[in-house]
Chains A and B, each alone.
Chain A
């Protein structure tokens, strides 16, 4: 197996996921970024978006992340999110309802959050 990097995904009120991974793809304000082991030290601002973590066992972890930061140094990657939900934690029906409601109220932020949730939930299956 190739090199690995250690990932810590923490939300404001809990630790969501941690483990070894070979690739992490996240969306920063200036576009998607993929981090592999040995990447140069990095600190970026995250957008609302799905984060894909390819674990060293070959699996994939999908997380819906709403706002936060990505920081990488010494082969350790920290994802700090105000709110983070693992794909299998997401209640699809609830997210769909939230999307409907956001559309009705033309709340762009809430609409985006609900969309991200649905994308992450769909990809995780």
Chain B
């Protein structure tokens, strides 16, 4: 066998092995999207009921709460960035990071100091490589977040918002995550969680705007209810963001792996063609060598006669 064919054969073998891996990853990601989507759907009743309740308290009482009142001149904003733990998901993490960078830029232009909080190893790596300060980070659960994870993330954030600005607290809380629009489309978005803006929030546009909320009796009191309600609201919003980000991550990975598999197939095809051509060239050469050799032999014997 010619040296050229051997090289082609070896490359075909290695690309085939790679293709098997990417195909398997694609299939795993595809099965996980469905699971993640189901989780998003399962968490929806809780968050919509909670949003309704928060709206009821905020509109039905005159109570002011540090989590709902806007600071007169906000100087510090917390930004929670949700990325993935693992790569091989196309532009998933870098798109989210880019969105966070844009938001940071915007907040800086408004004269606010940005305090970053990060979920996922990829985002953390991006920040630590650039030697930027990360206030707090969480890793290890981005492909399968639980409510307990959301609680863990929410606790220091709520504490930071409740702390006075002069003592290092923050005035605003933003979250950047990748919204799962459909299997094919995932868009990184930024959203302000706190202070609560009741006008124009996404949940309100879902048809609940026209509904007149009844005058509630608060048990034990409007303040206490709001005190208990708002942290839960933040947790549930973070939980929802984590779930959507997980679904988006799987969808992005599925797409990236699908195109990797397609590319591998393409590569195998062209390498096979090259190997065939090399084999054919080898055969042709061998034949012409034999023919040349035998005719030289025939000429020699004819000459000696």
Interface segment among A37-45, A85-93, A116-124: the answer is A37-45
- Bound-complex Cα distance A30 to B235 (A): 24
**Assuming A13-B147, A80-B53, is B217 touching A42 (CB within 8 A)?**
yes
Once A8-B49, A12-B46, A13-B43 are accepted as A-B contacts, the answer to whether A82 and B232 lie under 8 Å apart by CB is yes
| Of the residues B146, B213, B220, contact of A44 by C-beta under 8 Å | B220
> Is A125 interfacial (CB-CB < 8 Å)?
no
> Which chain B residues border A100 with CB–CB below 8 Å?
none
A102 within 8 A of B: no
Interface contact A80-B225, CB-CB below 8 Å: no
Question: Is B216 at the interface (CB under 8 A from chain A)?
Answer: yes
Known: A12-B236, A73-B214. A44 touches B49 (CB 8 A): no
Interface size (B, Cβ < 8 Å)? Answer: 30
Task: State which of A15, A68, A74, A82 has its C-beta within 8 Å of the C-beta of B147.
Answer: A82
B56 neighbours in A (Cβ, 8 Å): 43, 71, 73
Main secondary structure of the interface of A (DSSP, over half): strand
In Å, the complex CA distance between A78 and B46 comes to 9
A60-101, CB < 8 A from B: 68-71, 73-74, 78, 80, 82
Tell me if B216 and A15 are in contact (CB < 8 A). no
Residues of B within 8 A of A69 (CB): 50, 53, 225, 228-229, 232
Contacts of B225 in A (CB 8 A): 43-45, 69
**Contact bitstring B211-246, A, C-beta under 8 A = 1, else 0:** 001111111100011001100100110010000000
Q: Which 9 A-B pairs have the closest CB atoms?
A: A44-B219, A41-B214, A30-B220, A12-B147, A43-B216, A45-B228, A10-B45, A73-B214, A41-B216
- Can you list 15 A-B contacts (CB < 8 A)? A10-B49, A12-B43, A13-B42, A28-B219, A42-B218, A42-B219, A43-B57, A43-B225, A45-B224, A45-B228, A69-B53, A69-B229, A73-B216, A74-B214, A78-B49
A residues with a Cβ closer than 8 A to B are: 8, 10-15, 28-30, 33, 40-45, 68-71, 73-74, 78, 80, 82
